[in-house]
């Protein structure tokens, strides 16, 4: 009896001790509070502001008191705005050309780097470097390389009788930005593909070797279906990134020459921060968001049931 009483008392003491050190719900909030405040201040509040301002006619110069509700007026104006549709067209060209080429070259580079090459780790680091280099350094470097008169690129192309004007030409400025986007993204794609290739099912390759399958047959039946989820992930993230591309355009071309590189992100910036039409710029942002969301859902939907593990 005395032993049972002592055990019960010890158990009760441990329970009370445990209750004493158990963190309350507020302790968890305190840990995540710094990040939570950042998300609220820099993501949630701006997002809600854009949703509200998209239905207003507000010029920043008029102050907060100048905000007037105009319903769907901004969206009607967007539908009739030739500058908006021109920017959408340039953005589509930029995305449709740069994203598939980046993925294809990244896949080829990933497959090459997956082989037992000498210095493979160094090569992986070298190809990944462009993705993490500061955008200002990238822009300045390509400005020198693509200088129409003294740039290294034109000195090489001059051998073939080609001398593009690059950023000084309304015809070559967008292709130059596409080249830079591909150069910056190929290393990132190759690294993601490299990780996926190392998780590919080895037993299927061994079975294919026993059956005498060719390299192309193994790629078509095993490698590509196993890489499909990775490809969709890359397509979605690159499409979102390309549609938001702003830094290099603002740094190098400022939307020019003329409006040759005024993509939708730079057009939105001009509308909001150069002409101070925050209501109209918010409506452009909302329309762009819906467009990118639809494109992303379509891309995701197109691959369902085609991956190796589906």
Residues 208-255 pLDDT 10s: 888 888 888 988 888 888 898 899 899 989 988 888 888 889 989 888
Model confidence at 58: pLDDT above 60: yes
Nearest 5°: phi and psi at 69?
A: -75, 130
By 3-state DSSP, what share of the chain in percent is helix, strand and coil, each rounded to 5?
75, 0, 20
Tokens of 87: 């920017």
Model confidence at 1: pLDDT above 50: no
Catalogue the long-range contacts made by 108-113 (C-beta closer than 8 Å, 24 or more residues apart): 109/186, 109/187, 109/189, 109/190, 109/193, 110/189, 110/190, 110/191, 110/192, 110/193, 110/194, 110/196, 110/197, 111/193, 111/197, 111/223, 113/190, 113/194
Decide: pTM greater than 0.75.
Answer: yes
> Are the C-beta atoms of 295 and 88 separated by less than 8 Å?
no
Mean pLDDT across 279-299: 90
Tokens of 209: 């070797």
pLDDT of residue 277: 92
Instruction: For residue range 10-21, list pLDDT tens digits in order.
Output: 555 555 555 555
């Amino acid at each position: 009896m005395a032993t049972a009483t002592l055990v019960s008392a010890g158990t009760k003491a441990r329970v009370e001790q445990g209750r004493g050190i158990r963190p309350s719900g507020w302790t968890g909030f305190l840990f995540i509070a710094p990040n939570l405040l950042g998300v609220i201040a820099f993501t949630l509040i701006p997002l809600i502001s854009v949703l509200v301002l998209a239905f207003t006619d507000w010029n920043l110069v008029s102050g907060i008191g100048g905000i007037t509700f105009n319903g769907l007026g901004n969206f009607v104006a967007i539908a009739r705005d030739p500058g908006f549709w021109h920017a959408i067209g340039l953005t589509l060209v930029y995305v449709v050309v740069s994203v598939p080429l980046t993925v294809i070259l990244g896949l080829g580079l990933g497959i090459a780097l997956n082989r037992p090459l000498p210095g493979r780790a160094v090569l992986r680091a070298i190809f990944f470097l462009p993705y993490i280099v500061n955008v200002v350094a990238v822009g300045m470097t390509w400005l020198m390389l693509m200088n129409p008169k003294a740039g290294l690129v034109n000195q090489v192309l001059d051998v073939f009788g080609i001398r593009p004007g690059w950023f000084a030409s309304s015809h070559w400025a967008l292709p130059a930005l596409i080249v830079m986007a591909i150069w910056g993204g190929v290393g990132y794609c190759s690294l993601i593909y490299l990780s996926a290739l190392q998780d590919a099912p080895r037993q299927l390759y061994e079975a294919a070797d026993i059956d005498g399958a060719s390299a192309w047959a193994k790629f078509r039946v095993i490698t590509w279906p196993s890489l499909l989820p990775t490809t969709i992930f890359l397509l979605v993230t690159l499409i979102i990134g390309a549609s938001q591309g702003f830094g290099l355009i603002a740094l190098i071309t400022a939307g020019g020459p003329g409006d040759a590189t005024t993509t939708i992100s730079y057009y939105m910036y001009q509308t909001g921060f150069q002409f101070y039409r925050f209501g109209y710029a918010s409506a452009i942002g909302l329309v762009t968001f819906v467009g990118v969301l639809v494109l992303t859902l379509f891309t995701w939907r197109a691959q369902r049931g085609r991956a190796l593990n589906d």
